Amino acid sequence: MESITENRRNLNTDNIPAELKIRRQWVVWRYEIRDGNKTKVLYNARTATPAKSTDLQTWVYFDDALEAYDKGGWDGVGFVFSSGDPYAGIDLDDARDPETGEIDERAQGVIDTFDGAYMEVSPSGTGVHIIICGKVPKALKKDWIEMYPQERFFTITGVAL
């Protein structure tokens, strides 16, 4: 069995905002192959059954998700955006060089716009997740940028930008 330290190699809990940790909007996730594609699938950390980004009964508190993650078998933890919270998520794909940490110019413009928001590196090292206190009117997915007000989850690494 992996030690907790080894298992947390991709998770820095110290950087995750406390205001997110206190909410019951957490899941665990792992990579799975679906329809021939590698995808991140979310699970209820207490039951190890599939979770849904649209069903708050399948979400847990951060400490429960972290405990399940530490036991192994999961690739990470995730935060689910809900209509009942004040948050929205912005996902910037292919925005960062994983070797140098350099941010793409177009992504830098978005990052500068949300200065002060919680920002972290995605599990791949190439993306950036931004969690803002505020809402976007509806989900948007266009090319390299996605915005979600609810019914989606973000993988959380705690690797602050």
Angle among Cα 89, 136, 45 to the nearest 5 degrees reads 35
Q: Which residues pair with 37 in a beta bridge?
A: 34
In which region does residue 109 sit, left (phi positive, over 0), alpha (psi from -120 to 50) or beta (all else)?
alpha
Locate 90 and state its tokens: 């912005």
Active site residues: 91, 93, 129, 146
CB within 8 Å of 134: residues ≥ 6 apart: 86, 87, 88
